[in-house]
Every structure is written in C-alpha cells, then in structure tokens.
Amino acid sequence: MNSRESAVPLSGLNRLLSVILENQLRGDCIDLALACPSGDRFYPAGRLKKITAQLLRSASGFSTTYAMPPGSPRLRSQIARRGLHTGMILSPDDVIITHGTMEAISLAVRASTLPGDTVAVESPTFYNLYPMLEDLGRRIVNLPTHPQSGMCLDTLESLAEQRKISAVITIPSGHNPLGFVMPSENRQRLARMAETRQFAVIEDVIYAELQFGDTCIPNIRAFDRDGWVMVCASYTKTVAPDFRIGWLEAGRFRDVARQMKFTSTVAESGLLSESLGIFLENGGYDLHLRHLRRLYERQIDAVRACIADYFPAGTRVSRPQAGFILWIELPEGADTLALFHAALDEKILCMPGLLCSGSRAFNHCFRMAACFELTDRHRMAISRLGALAAHQLNEMK
C-alpha cells in the first residue's frame, strides 16, 4: 500500500486507542494488546533496587540535581560501548538521553523534517507513529512491508524519484508488529539510498538486543557514512519500564536534536540514569539479555501453540525473529475491529490491525503482545478470542 487512500481519520484511531488504554489502566481486563511486559521474570528489579538504594545513601546528590542534555555521562558511555554489539561505532558525546523511545523518535522527526514534509513508514507498523506524525504536521506515506525482508525498497526508490521524501522510519530488528529482522543487504541498501537521496533514516532498535539468532545483525547505522541514519532505543522492554529511559544518536542532526530535547523536557532523572548506567557497567545486563531471549522464545512458542489450538482453520501467525510481538492474520472476510469490541465485552484486550496501519488494509489482522505470564487465565482468554473469531466467520457463511 503506497498511500493512505483508505486512511482511517486520526480522531477514530485516537478514540480506539483511548479505549484500549482506559481499559488497560482499569486493571479488570486481560491485556493481550499492549507491549508492556508484566511479571518478575521479565526485569532485574532486585538488582536495580539495590543500586538505586546505594545511590540514594551516597553523598553524590543525584536526587537533587538535573541530568541536563545530553544526559548522564556514565549512561551515555555504556550505550556507546554497547553499540559495538550491533555494529555501531558511537561516541558518548553524540548520544542524547530521552524519555523513552517515543521521545527519541519524535525528536528525530522534528530535527530532520519540517511541518508539511513527507515521512515514509512501514505498513503495518507501530501504532503510535500515526498520531505522532499527524500531531507534528508531517505527511505520511505507507510502504508495503514483507513479513520476512521488511519494507519494499524498490517502492521507496520509486517514491523518492517522484516526490521529496524527508525521512523514513523503520523498525528493522524485531519489527513491531511483524517480528522480522531485516536482512543485512537491505540495511546496506537503505543506508546508501538515504545518502544518495539525502533523507533521514530514523531507526527504532528497541528490540535489537532481543534477536534470537546466535549473533545480532548490525543496525542500519553501522552502514551509515554521512550521518543520515538516526538511532532510537530504550531500556523499557528489557530493564525497567518505569525508568522511562531511552536514547537517540542523531547523526548530522545532533545539535538540533539536543536543543530540542532541552526545550521539550529540559532534563532526565539523574538518579535513574545513573542506576541504569551502573547496571549496564557491571556486566549483569548481558546475563539478563540471555535470560530474556530464552524466555521470549519459549513464550512465543507457547502462545503460538495456543492460537493453533483455539483459532479457526486458516489463521496464520507470525514467527518473530526478535522481541515478543505476534501478528495474527485471520481468514479472508474477518473484521478484527468487530472482534476487538466483542472481546472487550468479555474483558479481553487485543489490538485490531487498523491501528497498526492507519487504514483498513489489515482489517483481518490483529496484534498480540506475548509478554505476560501465561497463566490459565491468559490461556482461557486466548481460547475465548479464538471462539469469537470463529463465531464471526461462521456468521458470514
């Protein structure tokens, strides 16, 4: 899909998202929709509590000072060091600490484009990109995206010949929601295209360290020669969601992004940044990542097995190469917006495909986040969701 001809109005998307968030906050629904890992197995809470308590007892003054942009030197040094694991040579001076990945992406868009500029996104993609880009006044163009190889670069090349593309947002590792890891040759081609066409590539690598292979495929930034690739990430999915600590390496747009960070939110928490920096520094993070990769692989297999058992024949489920997001494609004619409302009546939350595309192109698909403790209650919810989908399809016959 190369345009948004069948686009759903932003007001409709926002209302739907508000319903999901309100019900998730209420706490009486079984949440299969949001990518918010829940449970002690997913986070190193004990170690972080110990580090933070030690800092509070120290005389360092972390609770009484701001961590002004670009942020904690210790944390930025650790982020730069860890960049080597995904093929990047980063300088701590170029890293900006942000309030999660979303602020990093927003800063990257604002630093590299102007209102009215065109930003290309994968379709489907992370649901929050559409309202963010519309709020910023950017034009959106959808790129068809293959469930194994990623965005269609031929389509992007053709579009760039026809009109000015100012930026491309991609989630190449553990794509949300398709789960693929973009092949290395495609990453190199995109980096070269950005250099030739002079558009920014905004690379969301939040799941890059949760790749299930023996080695991590290098980030697109590893192939960048002239600063057109900007990297956005956070530790909300791997270490501490409540810390809300992310980061941005903005390439040639660094100085603009740093100034925008200050005018947007002034600073980040010095205490939490230092706690995370110490955790990354002491070696516990790599052990924790190995645990998470094994955990999510098992979790994905278990949830996929549940879907195979309970959903109607013809249902297809993605097999993620990183992260924990599943993309479920129901047989032709299914309506996942109607399924969402039917499930909500039974206190089950799922995410209909139109939220992930800003259009009805994926109205037969929905997203499920397999980042919960797979209890009997969750199994029953998946079973009931499958029964509702089967009932909907039977009613069409």
d(CA 251, CA 260): 15
Q: Judge if 88 and 168 occupy the same domain.
A: yes
Nearest 5°: the CA angle 277, 278, 280 is: 65
Domain count for the chain: 2
| Residues in CB range of 339: below 8 A, 6 or more apart | 330, 350, 352, 366, 385, 388, 389, 392
Comparing 12 with 170, the larger pLDDT belongs to 170
Residue 55 covered by a domain: no
Domain identity same for 106 and 197? yes
Whether pLDDT at 4 is above 50: no
Question: Which residue has tokens 């949760």?
Answer: 210
What is the enclosing helix (H) or strand (E) of 108? helix 100-112
Between CA 379 and CA 373 the distance in angstroms is: 10
Q: How confident is the model at residue 13 (pLDDT cuts 50, 70, 90)?
A: confident
Measured in whole angstroms, how far is the alpha carbon of residue 122 from the centre of its chain?
12
Quick: pLDDT tens for 121-140. Answer: 999 999 999 999 999 999 99
72 plus 167 within the same structural domain: yes
pLDDT digits (tens, 9 = 90+) for 56-99: 988 666 666 778 999 999 999 999 999 999 999 999 999 999 99
Express each pLDDT in 297-336 by its tens digit: 999 999 999 999 999 999 999 999 999 999 999 999 999 9
Do 156 and 197 form a contact (C-beta atoms < 8 A)?
no
Task: State the pTM of this model.
Answer: 0.95
Residue for token pair 């944390």: 75
Same-domain check for residues 261 and 301: no
Per-residue pLDDT tens over the stretch 208-231: 999 998 889 999 999 999 999 999
For residue 173, CA distances in Å to 149, 183, 191, 321, 356 come to 11, 9, 15, 8, 17
User: Does one domain contain both 21 and 148?
Assistant: no
Q: Which residues contact 184 (CB under 8 A, 6 or more apart)?
A: 217, 218
Q: Could you tell me if 18 and 164 lie in one domain?
A: no
| Mean pLDDT value across the chain | 94
Q: In whole angstroms, how far apart are CA 394 and each of 333, 334, 339, 352, 387?
A: 11, 10, 13, 20, 10
Q: How confident is the model at residue 5 (pLDDT cuts 50, 70, 90)?
A: very low
**CA atoms lying within 13 Å on the CB side of residue 12:** 11
Predicted confidence at residue 364, as pLDDT, reads 97
We report the CATH number of the domain holding residue 257 as 3.40.640.10
